[in-house]
Structures are given as structure tokens and as C-alpha cells.
């Protein structure tokens, strides 16, 4: 969940490291630090707080050198402080032989710490990472090869790690290692980069190589080599980032979240590009690696995901059951991997993850494969662990998403799941005319999302009304229940208002006890087959003097008259309504958080890519 950036080359490392950390700050922002090597000197700068605090420190106390590593932290062991900030130094007797940055958790750090303390190594922090630095320093007492020293100590570590290592005796050299926490190498001309996310290095290079578990890399300005801990030297696959040059820049927007909300029409276009087939009234996917015959044999689908991806999977459940008549279950990935859920050989497992590195989802993928089930993935990041370890899958093509609160990735997932439902339906009973109607609906979604974004002025007025509340209820029926859950999550994540999502009809089975003028009930209620039922539930709230905020179809005067606040979206077929209905909820969360003075792109206690359990 933390961010790592490394650089070795002819330029000054510190500005590149700090710039990379700024782009990775969504992964952790409790503290930040860097270590550079100049000739045989190790220079350390670190400070609690945001990357800006580190930047100010480096301005006051420059860190020269053409090679270095850096880190922005999401705390696991020990609170945010200068002392606990990375990098951590290794050595004894005041002789610092190595600096280390680390993502992940070392589960046996207590035993290793006791062992090292008994040998004269003094600890300066409460972190698990410091044991790694001292272990490497101890190995450097018996070998002059930094790569070999790192390789040896990895055998002692239990848990997960993404490592960056530099040593003053090895100027110009960086060692990276990965097990369960992502690392990527950036390839330049006479320079190389190391990062936990390609976002950090995208402005410098488009050529990348992703490390896999058990792999170690040595970087110098002119060379890089990779080895597997068990299998020896390997030839890495070189990928190209296909992002637009400004994909990781704010582009004039105040926050990444609002930028990414407004990118959603283009995001859905990219997710659907080349996949809809009007002539066959279906969708096609090149990476499923399953034949139509194999897919017709499937009798059940299980989705495993976390957070926003879990909500998208719930939308997929409704769509697939409606269009393909296949039973679907949606599991929390963190629970699925530890359950002994009964599944037969006609069950297909899909895992969903924006980053492709979510630890719980990766664990669910591995558990499903261990049990022998067909396991596919829906991910955004090419070359990610989930993408590589699944038997096939679908890329979102959403581009980098920097805001911690996911928006455009959710829309890309829903669009992909709608196409998947169409494809599976056409393999079974769905008629050509019905399939064609779905194709046309999906094809119309980007323009309709653009229209939904025009509701921002109404959303801003709604935000003025509810910015001071302490609780909110989000309510939706059928396919809009997951949208209600997602809307509630967005409000919780960035404004810190307690919000819960429920199926609308469940309100009277408990939550209605919370209804009052200070607890808005936010109904997701576009016109559809159950609209009349939802209107009855709205009346139940009004009868108890509750505040009603409704997301509904433009021109729905019946709903608008019953709501204190009405947020319109365009008329649309039900199959794509979630893509439209979520837009005003995303905007509402953003503008409420703005009014409350919250740090929208970096909400407290959260990080973007959850790579620890």
C-alpha cells in the first residue's frame, strides 16, 4: 500500500524521487523519505507528514547523488513519525552499510529483531522493515556483492515484501525484490527506474518490466538483470505503457477524483472499444482463453472482489442473471479464500481488481486455482500479478486512476460486466433482437454519462444541504442496490460521514428507525420496472418527516415532487442505468467533502492499492 520509487542514472536522483512520490502519494501519506548515494556516502532525508514536508526538507538540506530510493508510507508497524519513516538503515557500531525501503509486512520480524539485537544491532524504529536493513548489513560483512546479500536474507523473511536497496559501497546500484507486493522496473537510455506502481515513472519511460513473486533485480544506469530465487536468471518480458501523456496529471482540475469522474465517458468508450459486435448482437473478448463450448458448459459463476470492485460485481450479478440466466454469487475476496465454499467443476470464478495487486483478491485467485476451478480476472493494470496468474481475463483499459476513491474504474468494470452478460446471454437463450438492444444501450452509454455529468450544478446545491449531516441512508432496488452501496462508500471514504446502503424495501425492516430531518435518505430511483414500489418507499420516509434526496430520470415529475432534492439523469435502458445513476452520487460525495474541507484525493487512513491483508 506504500509507494516506492528508485532511480539510477546521470541525473540528480532526488528530484526524480520526490516527483515520483508525489504521483504515488495516493498509496500512502503518513510520512516520506529518501536515501541517495554519492560516491561512498549514504545521504538520508525523511520526515513525517505529506511528501511536501519531505520536499521542503530536501530544499533545505539537499541530497546529492545519481542513485537513490524513496518511499511514502501507509503505516502498519508503528505510528507516523520521522523515526518510523522509510528508508531504514542497516549496520552496527554506527557504520551504516545499507538503506532499505519496503512495502508489505514481515510476519516474523519480532524473532528476527531479537536475534539481531543479541548480535549488537541497535534498532531506531518500531517498524518491521528495519530488520531487513540489519540483515542485509550483516550479510555485507561476509560478501562484497549487494545482490547476493539481498538474495540470502530473503530466505529468512516470512510475509510479503517489495524492496528497494542501496548501499554506499555500491554506488549507482539498486537492488529490488518482490514477494506479494508489486514492483516494476522502468527502462531508460543510460538510466533505470524502480517503482511500486508505473504511475510514478510514466513521465520518464513507457518501457517497463514487472517483477513477479520470488524475483530479484539489479539496476545500474546501463544494465539490469533479473533472477528468480529458485530458478536462477530470467529474461523479463518488456511491456509498454499505453497511457496518454497527461494521464497522471491533474490537467487543470482541483483534484484527481473530479478529473476521473469527468473522464468516465471516455473511459467507457475505451472499455468497449472493439468489443461490441452489432452484426452478431453480441460482445467479444480476446483474452478469456475459453471456447464458446466451454462457456456453455458453465452452470455457475462466482465473483470475488473487494470494495468498489465488489459493488461492480454485484451489478454484474444482476446483469448476468437477467441476460444469461446463469446463477451468480458475489463473494468478498477476503472471506472467500478462507471459506470451504462448495463449488463443482462447472463453476467459473472471476476475480475483479482495479490494480491487479489487491492482496485479498490475489489470495482468492490463488485459492480458486488451487481447487482446480477455471479462474479469470477483470483488471485494469496490464502485467499485474492478478493479470499474470489468472488463466485469462478482460482488461478494463481505464488508464491510471489516482484518486483513492475509485470512480472511473467502477464504470469501466460495470461496462465490461454488461458486455460479459451480453456475451454469455447470446451463447445461451438471448435472442438477436434482445441482444441488439443491449448492444445499442451499451453503445449509447458514453454520451448519456456525459449528459449525467451536467447535473453538477444541482449536485452542488444538494451538497450545500447535506454537508453538515452525520449520517445518511442510500437506498436502491434491484440493479440499483449496488449503486446505493457504492454511493454510500464514496461518501464515507472522502467526507467521513457515516453512510449505509440498503435495498430499498429493507428500509422498513430496521433502518427506518434512523429516519429524521437530519438523516437524508438518498434514493437511487430511475424509471424502471420497480419504480412504483420505490415511490411507495419514498412516501414512507416523507411520512416520518425524513429528508429525501432522489436520483431519478429527467422529467420524472412524480418523483421530483416527492423529493426535497432531485438529481436528474437521462432516460436510458435499465441495463446501463447504473452507469448513469452512480455519476451524481460520485459528484455528491466530492462536493460534500469539498465543503467539509476534507483531503479528497488522500482521505485519512486509506490508500489506493491494498497490498496487505
Give the separation between CA 346 and CA 330, rounded to whole angstroms. 16
Residue 455 contacts residue 568 (beta carbons within 8 Å): yes
Q: Concatenated DSSP letters for 282-313?
A: EE--SS----HHHHHH--EEEEEE-HHHHHHH
17: cell is 524521487
d(CA 452, CA 441): 15
Which among 162, 158, 153, 157 is positioned nearest to 180, based on CA atoms?
Answer: 162
Helix (H) or strand (E) holding 280: none
Pairing of strands 161-166, 471-476: unpaired
Cα-based distances in Å from 93 to 146, 280, 441: 20, 73, 69
Task: Specify whether 533 is catalytic.
Answer: no
User: What is the DSSP code (8-state) at residue 248?
Assistant: T
Count the alpha carbons within 13 Å of 386 in the hemisphere toward its beta carbon: 33
Catalytic-labelled residue, pool 2, 272, 521, 598: 2
Verify cis geometry, omega within 30 degrees of 0, for the bond prior to 574. Answer: no
CA distance 252 to 77: 37
Catalytic residue among 46, 408, 490, 608: 608
**Residue 244 and residue 471: Cα distance in Å, rounded?**
39
Q: How far apart are CA 560 and CA 551, in angstroms?
A: 9
Identify any residues that bridge with 397 across adjacent strands, giving them in sequence order.
none
DSSP 451-500: HHHTTHHHHHHHHHHHTT-SEEEEEE-GGGHHHHHHHHHHHHHHH--EEE
What distance in Å separates the CA atoms of residue 538 and residue 292, rounded to the nearest whole number? Answer: 45
Question: Which of 199, 196, 188, 194 has its CA nearest to residue 221?
Answer: 188
Output the DSSP codes for 388-437: HHSSSEEE-------SSS--HHHHHHHHHHHHHHHHHHHHTT--HHHHHH
537 contacts 544 by C-beta, under 8 angstroms: no
Name the maximum alpha-carbon separation found in the chain.
80
Contact by Cβ (8 Å): 277, 284? yes
Cβ-contact 272, 415 below 8 angstroms: yes
- DSSP character for 237? P
Rounded Cα distance, 411 and 312, in Å:
8
289: helix, coil or strand?
coil
Does the active-site annotation cover 244? no
CB atoms within 10 A of CB 342: 6
Q: Which residues are catalytic?
A: 2, 608
Amino acid at each position: 500500500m506504500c509507494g516506492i520509487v528508485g532511480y539510477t542514472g546521470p541525473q540528480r536522483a532526488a528530484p526524480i524521487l520526490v516527483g515520483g512520490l508525489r504521483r504515488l502519494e495516493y498509496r500512502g501519506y503518513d510520512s516520506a523519505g529518501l536515501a541517495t548515494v554519492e560516491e561512498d556516502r549514504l545521504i538520508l532525508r525523511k520526515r513525517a507528514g505529506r511528501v511536501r514536508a519531505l520536499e521542503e526538507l530536501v530544499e533545505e538540506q539537499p541530497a546529492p547523488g545519481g542513485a537513490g530510493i524513496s518511499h511514502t508510507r501507509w503505516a502498519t508497524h508503528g505510528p507516523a513519525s520521522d523515526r518510523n519513516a522509510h528508508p531504514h538503515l542497516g549496520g552496527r557500531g554506527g557504520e551504516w552499510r545499507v538503506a532499505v525501503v519496503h512495502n508489505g509486512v514481515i510476519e516474523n520480524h519480532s524473532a528476527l529483531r531479537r536475534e539481531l539485537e543479541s548480535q549488537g544491532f541497535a534498532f531506531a524504529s518500531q517498524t518491521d522493515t528495519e530488520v531487513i536493513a540489519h540483515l542485509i548489513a550483516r550479510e555485507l560483512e561476509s560478501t562484497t556483492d549487494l545482490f547476493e546479500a539481498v538474495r540470502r536474507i530473503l530466505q529468512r523473511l516470512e510475509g510479503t515484501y517489495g524492496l528497494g536497496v542501496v548501499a554506499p559501497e555500491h554506488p549507482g546500484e539498486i537492488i529490488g525484490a518482490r514477494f506479494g507486493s508489486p514492483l516494476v522496473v522502468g527502462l531508460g537510455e543510460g538510466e533505470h527506474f524502480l517503482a511500486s506502481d508505473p504511475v510514478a515513472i510514466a513521465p520518464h519511460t513507457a518501457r517497463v518490466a514487472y517483477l513477479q513473486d520470488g524475483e530479484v533485480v539489479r539496476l545500474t544506469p546501463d544494465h539490469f538483470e533479473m533472477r528468480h530465487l529458485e530458478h536462477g536468471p530470467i529474461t523479463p518480458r518488456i511491456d509498454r505503457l499505453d497511457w496518454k501523456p497527461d494521464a497522471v496529471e491533474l490537467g487543470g482540475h482541483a483534484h484527481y477524483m473530479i478529473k476521473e469522474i469527468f473522464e468516465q465517458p471516455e473511459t467507457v468508450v475505451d472499455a468497449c472499444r472493439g468489443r461490441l459486435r452489432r452484426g452478431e448482437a453480441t460482445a467479444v473478448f480476446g483474452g478469456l482463453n475459453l471456447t464458446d463450448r466451454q462457456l456453455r458448459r458453465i452452470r455457475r459463476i462466482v465473483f470475488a472482489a473487494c470494495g468498489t470492485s465488489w459493488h461492480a460485481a454485484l451489478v454484474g450479478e444482476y446483469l448476468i442473471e437477467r441476460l444469461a440466466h446463469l446463477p451468480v454469487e458475489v463473494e468478498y475476496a477476503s472471506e472467500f479464500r478462507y471459506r470451504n465454499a462448495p463449488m463443482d467443476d462447472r463453476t467459473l470464478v472471476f476475480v475483479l481488481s482495479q490494480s491487479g495487486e489487491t492482496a485479498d483478491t490475489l489470495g482468492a485467485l490463488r485459492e480458486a486455482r488451487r481447487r482446480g476451478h477455471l479462474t479469470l480476472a477483470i483488471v485494469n493494470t496490464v502485467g499485474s500479478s492478478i493479470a499474470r496468474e489468472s488463466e485469462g481475463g478482460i482488461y478494463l483499459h481505464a488508464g491510471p486512476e489516482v484518486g483513492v476513491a475509485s470512480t472511473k474504474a467502477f464504470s469501466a468494470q460495470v461496462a465490461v460486466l454488461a458486455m460479459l452478460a451480453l456475451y454469455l446471454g447470446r451463447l445461451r437463450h438471448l435472442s438477436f433482437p434482445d441482444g441488439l438492444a443491449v448492444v445499442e444501450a451499451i453503445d449509447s452509454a458514453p454520451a448519456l454519462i456525459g449528459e449525467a455529468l451536467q447535473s453538477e450544478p444541482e449536485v452542488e446545491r444538494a451538497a450545500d444541504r447535506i454537508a453538515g449531516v452525520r449520517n445518511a441512508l442510500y437506498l436502491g432496488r434491484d440493479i440499483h442496490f449496488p449503486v446505493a452501496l457504492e454511493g454510500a462508500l464514496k461518501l464515507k471514504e472522502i467526507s467521513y460521514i457515516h453512510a449505509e446502503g440498503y435495498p430499498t424495501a429493507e428500509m422498513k425492516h430496521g433502518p427506518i428507525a434512523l429516519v429524521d430531518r437530519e438523516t437524508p435518505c438518498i434514493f437511487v430511483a430511475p424509471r424502471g420496472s420497480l419504480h412504483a414500489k420505490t415511490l411507495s418507499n419514498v412516501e414512507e420516509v416523507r411520512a416520518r418527516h425524513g429528508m429525501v434526496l432522489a436520483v431519478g430520470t429527467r422529467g420524472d415529475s412524480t418523483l421530483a415532487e416527492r423529493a426535497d432534492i432531485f438529481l436528474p439523469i437521462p432516460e436510458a435502458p435499465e441495463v446501463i442505468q447504473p452507469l448513469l445513476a452512480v455519476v451524481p452520487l460520485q459528484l455528491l460525495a466530492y462536493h460534500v467533502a469539498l465543503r467539509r474541507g476534507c483531503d479528497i484525493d488522500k482521505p485519512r487512513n486509506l490508500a489506493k492499492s491494498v497490498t496487505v491483508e
